Amino acid sequence: MNSQSSHTLQSGVLDLKDTATNDGRADSARDRTGRTAPHGHLRVEGCVPSPDDLLVPAALVRRYGLRAGDLVEGVPGDKPRVLADVARVNGHAPQEAGSRARFGDLTPLHPRERLRLETTADRVATRVVDLVAPIGKGQRGLIVAPPRTGKTVLLKQLAAAVADNHPECHLMVVLLDERPEEVTDMRRSVRGEVLASTFDRPPKAHIALAELAVERAKRLVEEGRDVVLLLDSLTRLCRAYNNSASSGGRTLSGGVDAGSVQGPKRLFGAARLAEEGGSLTMLATVLVETGSRADDYYFEELKSTGNMELRLDRRLADRRVFPAVDITPSGTRREELLVPTAELTALRGLRRALDLRDSRDGRDARDLRDQREPREGSSGLEALLDQIRRTPDNAAFLRQVRQTVPGASALAA
């Protein structure tokens, strides 16, 4: 019985660091000098260490050219929790693994193929995102969110939209330093791969999960696959790097290690469209208005790294407006590569009308720092939500907008 079960194929993600697992993703081990060590471990439970993980000997890593994030199927040997041989790598014969492209050698391009998020007429959140900040394959997007503005609900709806409209994309949701009940809820809601590290885990566990998840996504892109990764949150990842930093680094105001954002920047920077084929789309949340000087520093360092930004507004959320999107500062770089000219003209006219409405209400939507004056009357977003709820889809809504561009009087009134 034991002999038979020990030779059953095991699968997992290869992790090449200093911990071990069995049925997981391949991750390389490193020695104390930072050089790649000769062995790795298979993670069998969602990219996190498990007692059932398998040791992957150095000979197998070298023989097949295994990389961190590879999905490996192999045969356990006679020694407990040690892999004897590799049967498949990412679903292919292991001999093919050494000849594949390297992620770092792929040519990054601006996103060109749009990810449509609109699903049904009543799912207004994803309809608003399509209108305000269109997303393409390979997008590197920040969702800038104060506490209690509905970012978790928005992430669930974005994940559902990707699963509905783009089944060709491999969907990953990565939750860091999260409440256990939120993890359960996300796993039951999302039709995709949900990887999580809860708040009772040490900072290094959050870092290890994030790094291995991104490596897994890279391996898929190397095969020409399209990957969508939703990360919650970059701020918590920065905190984890900061808390794990050695005491010898330069410390800034607020107790922030000067190098604590480099790791998150490196991971977030993996999002791209590859000219050779494949893409990694990453939408990551960033926390603002938390009262933490460290979080403010993280946001200032990260805000220039994305090519799409969606800002949520606490005052809108306090008024029970969902999605609480602040329209004016939200948007996408080079959106003309994603949106047809006629649609883009209508969208820009729409935004001008909504900006005008907000200005008439005495609110400068471009200055998020001024929180002293309460907002009166309905906002541009509320006017937009009212209009799109009256139409069956965004195409019908934009046809109405074109009739009023450049004034877009129905929304500016």
Neighbours of 248 (CB within 10 A): 7
**C-alpha atoms less than 13 angstroms from C-alpha of 225 in its C-beta half-sphere:** 19
The enclosing H or E element of 401 equals helix 394-404
Which of 364, 361, 355 is CA-nearest to residue 406? 355
362 is in an annotated binding site: no
User: How far is 1 from 145, CA to CA, in rounded Å?
Assistant: 53
User: How far is 166 from 169, CA to CA, in rounded Å?
Assistant: 6
33 is in an annotated binding site: no
Would you state the structure tokens that stand for residue 364, as one six-digit string? 């400068």
21 is in an annotated binding site: no
277 is in an annotated binding site: no
216 is in an annotated binding site: no
Which residues are registered as beta bridge partners of 282? 140, 229
User: How far is 310 from 126, CA to CA, in rounded Å?
Assistant: 12
Q: How far is CA 120 from CA 81, 125, 157, 389, 391, in A?
A: 48, 10, 11, 11, 11
User: How far is 288 from 368, CA to CA, in rounded Å?
Assistant: 10
User: How far is 172 from 215, CA to CA, in rounded Å?
Assistant: 12
192 is in an annotated binding site: no
Q: Are residues 196 and 258 in contact, defined by beta-carbon separation less than 8 angstroms?
A: no
79 is in an annotated binding site: no
152 is in an annotated binding site: yes
Would you state the structure tokens that stand for residue 309, as one six-digit string? 């930004």
48 is in an annotated binding site: no
Q: Are residues 375 and 364 in contact, defined by beta-carbon separation less than 8 angstroms?
A: no
Query: Cis peptide before 323, with omega less than 30 degrees from 0?
Result: yes
265 is in an annotated binding site: no
148 is in an annotated binding site: yes
150 is in an annotated binding site: yes
Task: Return the amino acid letter for 150.
Answer: G
Task: Return the amino acid letter for 243.
Answer: N
140 is in an annotated binding site: yes
Binding-site residues for ATP: 136-141, 148-153, 179
Binding-site residues: 136-141, 148-153, 179
